[in-house]
C-alpha cells in the first residue's frame, strides 16, 4: 500500500468512514463524541477519546501531505459536475488514475428531463418516492453489483450487505468475486484496511500489466 495512490486511498477512506483509528465513530459524532461540562467547556467522551484524537491527527497529516482535498457539494448535480471536472483533469494520468466512489450517491440521481418543472400538486395523487438502501439479500446484492460492473464498465464493485457490512464485503470483478473479512485477531480492526490493500494491490497490478 505504498505510493501516492495507497496514501490517498487510506486518507480518503479513513476520513469518511473510520477516521483511521481502532474504533469507528458513532453515526452522529458531533453530538455523541462530546460532552458539555459547563457553559464554556466541552470535553470528549472518554469512550471516543482515542478515536477523536486519531481523527484530528490523521486529518492534519493528510492536509500537510496534500493527500486530502475536501470538495463540498449540496446536490447530486453539483457532485456529478465536480466529478467530471476531476476526471478531465486526471485524464493525463491514464491508467495510473483510480476512482473510488460511493455508489449509493448515484442512486439519488434523476435526469433533468424526468424532474418536475413546477411544484408537485397534491391533487395528482400520492408522492411516489424510492430511496437507496443497503441490500439485505446476498443474491440480489451480487446481481446488482454485477449489473453495475457491466453497465458502467468498471473494474470492481464493492458490495456490502446490511447486517454484515462491518465484518465483510464482497468485491465483484469481471474475473470473479472476492470476499474480504475484517481481521478478528486484531482488536478494533476494520474491514476497510484489507479492502483498501486489495484495491491498491489490484490497481498496481493493472498499471504494470
Q: For residue 186, which phi and psi values (nearest 5 degrees)? A: -105, 125
Q: Report the run of H or E that residue 66 belongs to, with start and end.
A: none
Confidence of residue 161 (pLDDT cuts 50, 70, 90): confident
Confidence of residue 151 (pLDDT cuts 50, 70, 90): confident
pLDDT value for 125: 56
Largest CA distance in the chain: 61
Query: CB–CB of 4/199 below 8 Å?
Result: no
The string of pLDDT tens digits covering residues 96-119 is 998 888 776 665 566 666 665 555
**Among 189, 164, 201, 163, which residue's Cα sits nearest to residue 179?**
164
**Cell reading at 183:** 481481521
- Between CA 189 and CA 20 the distance in angstroms is 10
pLDDT value for 170: 93
Alpha-carbon Rg for the chain, nearest whole angstrom, is: 20
CB atoms within 10 A of CB 83: 16
Q: Taking CA 18 as the corner, what is the angle to CA 105 and CA 195, rounded to the nearest 5 degrees?
A: 75
Q: Taking CA 13 as the corner, what is the angle to CA 93 and CA 154, rounded to the nearest 5 degrees?
A: 50
How much is the average pLDDT of 41-52? 86
**Pairing relationship of beta strands 42-44 and 34-36 according to DSSP bridges:** antiparallel
Residue boundaries of the structural domains of the chain:
1-70, 72-107, 134-209
Question: DSSP labels for 1-49?
Answer: --SHHHHHHHHHHIIIIITTSSSPPPSSHHHHSEEE-SSS-EEE-GGGH
> Alpha helix (H) ranges present in 43-176?
49-65, 76-89, 103-106, 138-151
The string of pLDDT tens digits covering residues 118-144 is 555 555 555 554 445 566 788 888 998
pLDDT value for 121: 56
Amino acid at each position: 500500500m505504498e505510493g501516492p495512490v495507497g496514501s490517498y486511498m487510506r486518507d480518503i477512506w479513513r476520513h469518511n468512514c473510520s477516521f483511521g483509528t481502532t474504533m469507528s465513530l458513532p453515526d452522529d459524532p458531533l453530538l455523541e463524541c462530546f460532552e458539555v461540562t459547563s457553559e464554556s467547556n466541552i470535553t470528549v467522551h472518554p469512550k471516543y477519546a482515542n478515536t477523536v484524537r486519531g481523527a484530528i491527527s490523521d486529518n492534519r497529516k493528510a492536509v500537510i501531505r496534500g493527500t486530502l482535498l475536501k470538495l463540498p457539494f449540496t446536490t447530486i448535480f453539483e457532485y456529478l459536475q465536480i466529478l467530471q471536472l476531476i476526471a478531465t483533469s486526471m485524464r493525463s494520468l491514464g491508467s495510473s488514475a483510480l476512482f473510488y466512489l460511493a455508489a449509493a450517491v448515484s442512486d439519488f440521481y434523476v435526469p433533468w428531463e424526468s424532474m418536475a418543472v413546477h411544484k408537485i400538486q397534491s391533487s395528482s395523487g400520492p408522492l411516489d418516492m424510492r430511496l437507496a438502501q443497503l441490500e439485505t439479500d446476498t443474491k440480489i446484492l451480487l446481481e446488482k453489483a454485477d449489473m453495475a460492473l457491466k453497465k458502467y464498465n468498471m473494474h470492481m464493485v464493492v458490495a456490502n450487505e446490511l447486517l454484515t457490512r462491518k465484518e465483510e464485503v464482497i468485491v465483484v470483478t469481471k474475473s470473479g468475486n472476492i470476499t474480504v473479512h475484517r481481521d478478528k485477531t486484531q482488536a478494533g480492526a476494520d474491514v476497510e484496511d484489507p479492502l483498501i490493500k486489495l484495491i491498491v494491490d489490484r490497481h498496481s497490478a493493472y498499471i504494470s500489466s
